[in-house]
Amino acid sequence: GQQVMQIPQYQHVQEGEDFTTYCNSSTTLSNIQWYKQRPGGHPVFLIQLVKSGEVKKQKRLTFQFGEAKKNSSLHITATQTTDVGTYFCAGGSNDYKLSFGAGTTVTVRA
Q: Using CB under 8 A as the criterion, which residues of the chain lie in contact with other proteins when the complex forms?
A: 1, 4, 6, 31, 33, 35, 41-45, 48, 88, 90, 92, 95-103
Q: Which of 49, 41, 43 is nearest to 23 (CA)?
A: 49
Query: Which one, 19 or 88, has the nearer CB to other proteins?
Result: 88
Query: Which one, 6 or 79, has the nearer CB to other proteins?
Result: 6
- Kindly state the DSSP code that residue 16 receives in the 8-state scheme: T
Kindly state the smallest distance separating residue 52's Cβ from other proteins, in Å: 17
DSSP string, 49-93: E-STT-EEEETTEEEEE-TTSSEEEEEE-S--GGG-EEEEEEEE-
Kindly state the smallest distance separating residue 27's Cβ from other proteins, in Å: 15
